Structure 1
Amino acid sequence: MTEREVLLEIHHLKAYFPVKRKSMKEEKKVVKAVDDISIEIFRGETLGIVGESGSGKSTLGRTILKLVEPTDGEILYKGQPIQHLKGRHLQKYRNQMQMIFQDPFASLNPRMRIGSIIEEPMALQLTLSKEERKKRVSELLQKVGLPEDAMYKFPHEFSGGQRQRIGIARALAINPEFIIADEPVSALDVSIQSQVLNLMLDLQDEFHLTYLFISHDLSVVKHISDRVAVLYLGRVVELGAKKELYANPLHPYTQALLSAIPVVNFDEPKQVVPIQGELPSPMNPPIGCVFHTRCPFVMEKCRLERPTLQHLNAQQQVACFLYD
Structure 2
Amino acid sequence: MKDKEVLLKIHHLKTYFPVKRKSMKEEKKVVKAVDDISIDIYRGETLGIVGESGSGKSTFGRTILKLIEPTAGEILYKGQAIHQLKGRYLQNFRNDMQMIFQDPFASLNPRKRIGSIIEEPMALQLTLSKEQRKKRVIELLQKVGLPEDAIHKFPHEFSGGQRQRIGIARALAIHPEFIIADEPVSALDVSIQSQVLNLMMDLQDEFHLTYLFISHDLSVVKHISDRVAVLYLGRIVEIGTKTELYTNPLHPYTQALLSAIPVVNFDTPKQVVPLQGELPSPMNPPLGCVFHTRCPFVMEKCRGERPALQQQNAEQQVACFLYEK
Q: Where on the TM-score scale, by shorter chain, does this alignment land: which range?
A: over 0.9
Change (3 A) 1:293 1:2: closer
Alignment TM-score, normalising by the size of structure 2: 0.99
Of 172-181 and 263-272, the range deviating more from structure 2: 263-272
What is the deviation of 1:86?
Answer: 2.5
In the alignment, what sits opposite 2:205?
205
In the alignment, what sits opposite 1:20?
20
Q: Hey, what's the Cα distance between the residues in 1 that align with 2:2 and 2:216?
A: 32
Q: Hey, what's the Cα distance between the residues in 1 that align with 2:2 and 2:103?
A: 39
Q: Hey, what's the Cα distance between the residues in 2 that align with 1:208 and 1:94?
A: 17
In the alignment, what sits opposite 2:314?
314
Alignment TM-score, normalising by the size of structure 1: 0.99
User: One-letter code of the match for 1:205?
Assistant: D
Question: Tell me, what secondary structure is at the counterpart of 2:37?
Answer: strand
Question: Tell me, what secondary structure is at the counterpart of 1:180?
Answer: strand
What is the deviation of 1:87?
Answer: 2.6
Q: Hey, what's the Cα distance between the residues in 2 that align with 1:252 and 1:158?
A: 42
What is the deviation of 1:80?
Answer: 1.0
Question: Tell me, what secondary structure is at the counterpart of 1:312?
Answer: strand
In the alignment, what sits opposite 1:222?
222
In the alignment, what sits opposite 2:252?
252
Deviations 1:255-285 (A, max 9, x none): 0000000001111110000010000000000
In the alignment, what sits opposite 1:106?
106
Of 288-297 and 81-90, the range deviating more from structure 2: 81-90
Q: Hey, what's the Cα distance between the residues in 2 that align with 1:41 and 1:284?
A: 29
Q: Between the two proteins, what is the percent identity of the paired residues?
A: 88
Deviations 1:19-48 (A, max 9, x none): 000000000000000000000000000000
Deviations 1:77-106 (A, max 9, x none): 011111232232222111100000000000
Q: Hey, what's the Cα distance between the residues in 2 that align with 1:205 and 1:212?
A: 15
Large movers: runs of 4+ above 6 Å: none
Size of the aligned set, in residue pairs, is 324
In the alignment, what sits opposite 1:185?
185
Structure 1 unmatched ranges of 5 or more: none
User: One-letter code of the match for 1:247?
Assistant: T
Question: Tell me, what secondary structure is at the counterpart of 2:283?
Answer: coil
User: One-letter code of the match for 2:32?
Assistant: K
Q: Hey, what's the Cα distance between the residues in 2 that align with 1:289 and 1:51?
A: 16
Question: Tell me, what secondary structure is at the counterpart of 2:110?
Answer: coil
Q: Hey, what's the Cα distance between the residues in 1 that align with 2:161 and 2:143?
A: 15
Confirm or deny: 8 A CA contact 2:113 2:154 kept in the other structure.
Answer: yes
Q: Hey, what's the Cα distance between the residues in 2 that align with 1:35 and 1:90?
A: 25
User: One-letter code of the match for 1:114?
Assistant: I
Question: Tell me, what secondary structure is at the counterpart of 2:83?
Answer: coil
In the alignment, what sits opposite 2:168?
168
Q: Hey, what's the Cα distance between the residues in 1 that align with 2:131 and 2:269?
A: 60
In the alignment, what sits opposite 1:65?
65
Question: Tell me, what secondary structure is at the counterpart of 2:201?
Answer: helix
In the alignment, what sits opposite 2:126?
126
Q: Hey, what's the Cα distance between the residues in 1 that align with 2:294 and 2:170?
A: 42
Q: Hey, what's the Cα distance between the residues in 1 that align with 2:212 and 2:94?
A: 15
Deviations 1:106-143 (A, max 9, x none): 00000000000000000111111111100000000000
Change (3 A) 1:298 1:2: closer
Question: Tell me, what secondary structure is at the counterpart of 2:313?
Answer: coil
In the alignment, what sits opposite 2:194?
194
Deviations 1:145-190 (A, max 9, x none): 0000000000000000000000000000000000000000000000
Q: Hey, what's the Cα distance between the residues in 2 that align with 1:78 and 1:86?
A: 16
Q: Hey, what's the Cα distance between the residues in 1 that align with 2:79 and 2:12?
A: 16
Question: Tell me, what secondary structure is at the counterpart of 1:132?
Answer: helix
Question: Tell me, what secondary structure is at the counterpart of 2:34?
Answer: strand
Aligned alpha-carbon RMSD (Å): 0.8
Change (3 A) 1:206 1:34: same
In the alignment, what sits opposite 2:144?
144
